[in-house]
Structures are given as C-alpha cells and as structure tokens.
Structure 1
C-alpha cells in the first residue's frame, strides 16, 4: 500500500462487512445500504489498492491473501475507533453513545427483551440499539452483532460465552380447542400438531416434538415461533411454545403440563470488543432483568 494513498473509511467499513458476512448482498442488508453501491465501493477500493480482495465462490465472497491482510488492519482500526468513542467526551455526552447491535431469537426478542428494553434505553438515551429478533442469529465471531443470545454455546471462534438462563417449554392449545382428550404423549398423534419447518430449522435445539416422541410429526408448520403461537391460539392445533410465550397468553391452556422441555440461552460476545462499555452495559442489564423475571422463563 502506498504511504500517500488515502482510503475512505466508509469503503473500509463496507469491505469489513462483506468479509464478515461472506456475501455482498448480506453485508449490504446488515448495513442498510444498496448492494450495487457497496459493490461499486468495493471495486473502487480494489482499484485504488491494485489488489483483488475477494474471490467469488459458490458460497459467496472469500477473502484473498491480500484481503486477509487488509481485514486485520481494518479490524484494528475499528477497535481503536470504538475505544476512542468511549473516552470522556468522545461520545458527545456523558452517557453511552454509538451503535449497539443485539441478535436474539424471534420469540425471546419479541416476548421478553422488547417489552423491557425501555428501562435500558432510559439509562442510555443516546445509544442507537438494533434489536435483531429473527428466525436465525447474527454471528458475533464475524462482528455481525455486538452481542448475541444463542440457543447453544459456540464450540469455536473468537468469542466469549456464558450461560444466561435455562427456560422451559411445553405443549399448548387454545382454550376452546376441541379434540380427543390428551392423557399421554401417544394421544397427540390423533391431533393436528403445529411446529417448525424441518429443513428451515436454524438450530437443532428447536426439534421439540422429537424430544417428546420421535414418531410425532407437525402438519402445520412455520419457521416463525410467533406465527406458530398465532396458529395455536386460533384453535388450529397443539404445539410447543416457550413458557414465556404460552403462559403470557390467557387464551391458551397447557396440554400435558407436567411434560416440560428444558433449553438454555447463552450470551455470546466477540473477545476483542466484549469490554466496550456499551456491550458490558447491555450484558449487565440483560442479566439483571433475566434474574428479576426468571419465573417467566421457567414458569412460576
């Protein structure tokens, strides 16, 4: 790289986003910019450097050796910029500022985090918070999110994880649901079951019916837990829901209430950024509210 070369910071941020996401279109979506604009910036950056930064593969964009070297420098610059922003006066006020992106499952984000988030925002009104509550997770190891709440502890990657809490699930039906009595798991085969689309599962921990009885099959299926909740509430059938969803809906009744499924939530952060004040503040707040409302997760 020539000493006199001036590279726009926005282009370097785009480059890092593509490297972390593995696909230009996905990176553009995460940053909220047009994919064609991001593509033009990347081509201009490669022209300025006189190097090819990515190889196009069937899976997406793979870093070249030059790209790997540039990414190491850009990530170091990002970490330095984040720490500078947290110096006294660096954030434009006395409270925390900047962007905090949190990735959580759709149900946990919609039913647990979102209703309580006003408390955290009141403490840090200058902080921009992205709550990515989706069927799937952004990856902290690729810096797609500052903090993620996952269904399993990652086995590899530059991340730090700790258990947030266990949570319980059980079968529910609408209060007015009509059908043969269910006295044991085997009786469920006579009912319409609501569940996930098998080939769209984003985590093996979501195979709830297999845990009750491998012979059970859902015939009304959705990739969305919120959609499954509405299907069950409409009286269409019986399905498994987290207790923080099912118990919160007075129109639902538990089926086989003694048969519970236990799962866990894990907090995951990148090891290079986990000590940033805004990330530590959110993690502390989340652990506090989980401790205060643990009965909602496990059942009162």
Structure 2
C-alpha cells in the first residue's frame, strides 16, 4: 500500500479537516484532498463522510486507521534509525479538563518533551472533552468512566475538592465556619448551570443542600482567580488550589470526592508514544498523590 497516500489519510483522520491536515503536512488543502481521493479510488472504498463540520471516518476508514498507524510507527522507526534520534515521533493528542491540564500537566510537561523531542503534542485542555471513540483524540482524561465505545478505560486517580475563601478575608472565613453559606451573605462562585459540561461538576449541593452560585463562570481557572481576587467563596479541586497564598481552605473537614478516568481507543493502545505518555502521567500522578487527596 502506498504510504505517501496513507499519511494524508491519517492526517485527515486525526485532524478532521483538510486545512488542519494540510498544516500538519505543510501542504495545501487541495493536495490533501487529491491524495485522499486517490487512495479511496485505489481501495474502491469511501473512507470519509464529507460533512459541513469536517471529515468523519466511515466504517472502512475506521478499519484502515490502525494499519495506517502501524505504518506511521514503522516509518518513524526507520527515520529514527537513519537520523540516530528518539524512537518516539509523530503526533500525540490528549484531551483533558481545563483545570487538570492547565494546572497539573502543563507545568510538568517539559520533562516529557525533553525526553521525546520528536513528538508533536497537542494538549487540548478546555471546558469539554474530545471523543477518543471517534478518534478526535488519542486519549482523554475524563471525569467519569465511559460506558460504551471501543475504548480501554481505567481510573487514573481519585481527587478531592474543598471550599475555599480569599486569604485576606478573615471575616468571610469566620462567617463560613460558623453559619450556613446561604445565610452568611457571602457571594458564592461556581459553574454556569445551563452550560455545565459534566454532571460531576454539579457539586455545590454537596456543600449545602440547595446552594446556588451567584457569581458564575464556565472556567474553573477563572473561578480560582475570582475567589483569590475576593469575588466570593467557592469549591475548587485541592490540586488546583494547593500552594496558592491567595486562597485558604475553609471547613477543611468537609470534602467532596471525584475521580479522573483515562480512556483511549483500543486501536492506539499498543503504540509506543501512547504507552510512554501514560507511563509518564502515571508516575507524575503518583509523585503528587498528596495534592489530589490531601491527608
């Protein structure tokens, strides 16, 4: 099979559009379209459904992806031997929550990229997740275990959340300790209810039944900054708030428990770059266990 055409197919499968695939390959979208069409003609199969939002793999396309990935890995190994470089190369796309990706993975990622300089890494850290079942990402760290799809899943880590107040508002800290928040007259910060992207984030009722946020954001990083800046009190993951001198945990005996789940498409699980990243992430989480579930 012609690897030249296959790599164009693989880039469209990974990126979803001709334009993004072309950028990754450093060619124009017309060239990508022509090579993919030529591959479909050679195989006498339709590999993508052309939709307004991009290219969606057909059943034939999904079946071809693991073979294309294997050829990509072989090509990378050949290139590595020729160049005397790292055995790990190619693209790795990881979907994570904004808080975990931005505050935990991002500051530590330098060690991994230094060890594997030929890898291209997309850390998609946002309010929402890409779907590894549809090959939108190689892997995802989710807030709940997926129940369907061709996925390999396992728990990455439990984590705790607590109620935090601004460090310079001693009056608020005392009031929260002595009275229900609903009667303390203190603004409560939380998510925007109608655009909550995961039910696991609906946790204010676990602090006090019926508790509602009056100051809201879809971003947990924005909520952290609002609490630190004195806009109110709110719930934060302990790993996100740890070490911030502008924040103080109040009601330390009151804790909310959640979990991170690792999910990846079973076709990509054997790939060396996938295994290397998972091993690195496991090690980083284990080293920081006290951040996720404080004593």
| TM-score normalised by length of structure 1 | 0.80
Aligned pair count reads 284
What runs of 5+ residues in structure 2 fail to find an aligned partner?
none
Which of 258, 266, 285 aligns to 1:263? It is 258
Residues 244 and 297, structure 1, Cα contact 8 Å, conserved in 2: yes
The 4+ residue runs of structure 1 with deviation greater than 3 A are 5-11, 27-33, 37-53, 60-64
SS of structure 2 residue aligned to 1:89: helix
Residue 28 of structure 1, CA deviation = 5.3
8 Å Cα contact 1:55/1:63 also seen in 2? yes
SS in 1 for 2:137: coil
Contact 2:86 2:116 in 1 (8 A): no
Give the Cα separation in 2 of the matches to 1:77 and 1:30: 15
Residues 280/132 of structure 1: CA separation in 2 closer, same or farther (3 Å cut): same
Which position in structure 2 is the counterpart of 1:195?
190
Of the three residues 216, 221, 241, the one matched with 1:226 is 221
Q: CA deviation at 1:129?
A: 1.9
Mapped to 2, the partners of 1:169 and 1:96 lie a distance apart of: 36
2:59 is equivalent to residue 68 of structure 1: yes
Take 2:205 and 2:23, find their aligned partners in 1: how far apart are those partners? 38
| Structure 1 residue runs without a partner (length 5+) | none
List aligned pairs for 1:218-297, cutoff 5 A: 218-297=213-292
Q: 2:76–2:88: 8 Å Cα contact kept in structure 1? A: no
* 1:215 aligned onto 2:213: no
2:142 is matched with 150
Q: What is the distance in 2 between the residues matched to 1:51 and 1:192?
A: 59
Deviations 1:43-85 (A, max 9, x none): 885597498753658xx56869xx4334423553233323442
Q: Give yes or no for the alignment of 1:54 onto 2:49.
A: yes
User: Residue 101 of structure 1 aligns to a residue in which SS?
Assistant: strand
Give 1:13 deviation, angstroms. Answer: 3.4
CA shift for structure 1 position 96 = 1.9
The answer to whether the 8 A contact 1:106-1:224 is kept is yes
1:106 has 2:98 as partner? yes
| 1:128 counterpart = 2:120 | yes
* Structure 2 residue 176 is the aligned partner of structure 1 residue 182: yes
